[in-house]
Structure 1
Amino acid sequence: MSTSDLQLRYSHLVDTIKSRPANAALTSSAAAAVTLFAAWVVSDFRAWKAFGTGGTPPTWSGYWRMTKLRLGRMFSGDDLTDSTGLSSSAGPSYIDGESLPVRDGPRPRIVSRTMPHRQVPYKSGTVAEGVEERTANMAATFAARYPDILELRPSRSEGYSADGIYVRESLPTVNVECRDQRLIGTEVAHAHPAENSLHVWLSEADAKVVVAKGWGQRFPLPGIPRGWIMVYAPRTMEEVDVVERFVEAGIAWVSGVTTVLG
């Protein structure tokens, strides 16, 4: 073996030895990052199940499906609080936009997961006494008030995990748009037990007013009626009164019966 070959092999050996500490540190850092990420995923999965999955099977398969939707939303740039994409002339209007006040304070924080579509629960002491109970019982209250028009049954759109207000399918005036909605059908609204926000089906014209005045936001997924929106959880009895007006407007829209409006 020539001297030049020996020198070349020696240089290669020295370079290899010098690189080992750096490679070891890099490997350790990568392993730590993977471990931390795995721990976060497990924690996020458990939090997703604990908060309610919105009807998605509470399995790893369901979680990954919702995570893909979540990543897609992150890069979409779509602001669900923007009402400009909703048409003020699409459908009749049952909410007087002039008399509807702007909701007080900032909009609530929204849970980062796309589904279930939820807001972060309010801090303790933020909600007035009796508000949560009244909101939780809202579906049953309306169903009892209008038994000829409505029925109370588990919400299919919510994975049967909450009570939904449904217009009776036998009603001759039912909105024809219900025929194309396999998931929602004749559902008007349901409240979410975890934090008392609601999903309500309004005409697109009414949905635009509600979103613009800060009372709710658009639904994040395609294939759902544009008037199907999230309404933020009320904090006071006065806000419950306003939310009930939205539900009444939804009943009128889905049922075709306007006599429910106060």
Structure 2
Amino acid sequence: MASQYFGRLSEVFHRHSLLGSFHSHRATTLSVLCVALALPFAIRDYLTFLSYGPGGLPYNVVGWLASNVARLIAAEQLSTSVYDDPNLPHADEPSFLPTSFPPHRESPRPRIGPHPVPQRQLQQLPNEEVKHTLLDRFAKLGKHAQEKGLVELRTSRFERHHDAYFVSKTQQWHSIAQATGGEIAHVHDGKDNSIHVVLHPADCKAVLDAGWGQRHAFSGVDTRKILGFALPVNYVLVYAPRDDAEVDIAMGIIRAAIAFMTGSREDLG
């Protein structure tokens, strides 16, 4: 009996000791608990960021932190009502994609990473053969357009790790070309092979309505004070093609981007 009594008494004192310690160091205790709870989520989020591969931000903890801060200004990416604005630049001009193109994409939209930069898809990724096919055709089209004096080929100013088309300095740059520094399109060579393009407003709407892409989280957001530039609403992500038929569709969209940004309606094949 005595041993049970003293055992219970010891438990009482132990509990009071813990409570007293908690009250004495409440801020520190709560901070430790918050860190313990948040750490697994932070690690998982950081690994997701790394899974995109190198992009426009540093490929390390600094880039990860910056990308999470950028979530505060990220915009909705799927609605197409913005393209109905008749005051958008070039909205009163004919679009460049053929009628009823692209066809409706049968699959649901792939899941996109939660970080606005770099913008990457996490699902429905192509195999290595399809990746190679897209990159080869992208390079050949760029060379062909360069020979015609429409584009220049160099590293993307936004991604800094991928080849991109730019409007040639011999061409007249309209306001959208000036907003992107002349950049027309690039493929995210590596992890997902999604594509960023800059399109006529009506073509943006066609691509989104057919389920082939979405806007960038910064498209149409005034980020000039933060980033020094702002992306127009014309800046669109095209989902990675997964077979030869989808590569054909992606290349059709890319050709429309070249045509819009260079002001050329020449058939690029």
TM-score, normalization by structure 2: 0.76
> In 2, Cα distance between the equivalents of 1:231 and 1:23?
58
Count of aligned residue pairs for this structure pair: 236
Q: Give 3-state SS (helix, strand or coil) of 2:245's partner.
A: helix
- Which residue identity is paired with 1:115? V
- Partner of 1:258: helix, strand, or coil? coil
Instruction: Supply the distance in 2 between the matched residues of 1:20 and 1:86 (Cα, whole angstroms).
Output: 65
Aligned position for 1:108: 110
Report the AA paired with residue 183 of structure 2.
E
For 1:94-243, list aligned pairs within 5 A.
94-122=96-124, 127=126, 130-146=129-145, 147-148=147-148, 149-158=150-159, 160-171=160-171, 173-179=172-178, 181=179, 184-193=180-189, 194-221=191-218, 222=221, 223-243=230-250
Distance 1:40 1:53, change over 3 A: farther
Distance 2:235 2:101 in 1: 22
State the AA in 2 paired with 1:155: S
**What is the CA-CA distance between 1:104 and the residue it aligns to?**
1.2
- Give the distance between the partners of 2:199 and 2:252, measured in 1 at CA: 11
Change (3 A) 1:34 1:189: same
Distance 1:24 1:47, change over 3 A: farther
1:100 deviates by 2.9
Q: Secondary structure of 1:143's partner?
A: helix
1:21-54 CA-to-partner distances (Å, cap 9, x unmatched) read: 4566898786354134235424533542452352
User: Alpha carbons of 1:39 and 1:100: their partners in 2 closer, same or farther (altered >3 Å)?
Assistant: closer
Q: Which position in structure 2 is the counterpart of 1:4?
A: none
Distance 1:139 1:88, change over 3 A: farther
**Counterparts of 2:101 and 2:217, CA distance in 1:** 28
| 1:68-83 alignment runs, 5 A limit | 68-73=69-74, 79-83=76-80
Task: Describe the SS at the equivalent of 2:236.
Answer: strand
Give the match's secondary structure for 2:266: helix
**Helix, strand or coil at the partner of 2:102:** coil
Offset, 1:107:
0.4
| TM-score, structure 1 as length reference | 0.78
Range that drifts further, 56-65 or 220-229 = 56-65
Aligned-pair CA distance for 1:216 = 0.3
C-alpha distance in 1 between matches for 2:34 and 2:101:
54
**Residue of structure 2 equivalent to 1:248:** 255
Deviates more, 1:213-222 or 1:94-103: 94-103
Q: Which residue of 2 aligns with 1:9?
A: none
Q: Which segment drifts farther, 90-99 or 238-247?
A: 90-99
1:86 alignment partner, SS class = helix
List gaps (5 residues or longer) in structure 2.
Answer: 1-11, 222-229
Distance 1:121 1:256 in 2: 34
Separation (CA, whole Å) in 2 of partners of 1:99 and 1:217:
16
Distance 2:53 2:127 in 1: 24
